[in-house]
Structure 1
């Protein structure tokens, strides 16, 4: 029975992984390129794209979000006693920004600034070492 516990945990963690398709289009042409955003469900996200036969891959990191956290204190009025009540508030925002720094095996680079409205879809702009701009969307 104890031997099944690690296997059960592995199955549960594997279910948390996700994958989204990526589309890129260069601003200098209408040619489209593809790729993937892959998350292991444990905080690591990798963006991989292929542009003109060159594979780029690297980490995609959350840089900011509209999430907020705060404390609240209330007092009741009336009754025999006025006891303070304390609590916390955590609001999840609707937008998150990301940065991705991708490398190819031959040392070329691609830098991307992305935004997401729901965490599962979004878009942004990438620029390569030759200053070519690409619009990127993922879902």
Structure 2
């Protein structure tokens, strides 16, 4: 059996504002209507995995157990870090190394953690880090 991830869902205080932050970071398109939920996706017509923002009454209280690792397609890791900072993100930890490797751990305006890594075009060919297991 195979599945695909339809959306990554963010519980949030202000769905529209958080979706607009992520729109700046991802460059994706915003989809909304009179519904309080807001969808952000990579293209129109919307097809593939997107981000769904749902307003909830409670605030974030602990570190996320799952987070996003972002890698730019058309810019550099450092430019994407700057774009996220300008949109309202904050740095939790800067793990960039002198040789250009590493990542930056960040959080969005509502405290959701994410990391920004180098894009494939910055890294070059990689050897696989894991083997494929079959059941």
Task: Give the TM-score normalised by the residue count of structure 2.
Answer: 0.29
Task: Give the TM-score normalised by the residue count of structure 1.
Answer: 0.28
Q: Normalized per residue, which structure has more helix?
A: 2
Q: Normalized per residue, which structure has more strand?
A: 1
Q: Which has the larger radius of gyration?
A: 1
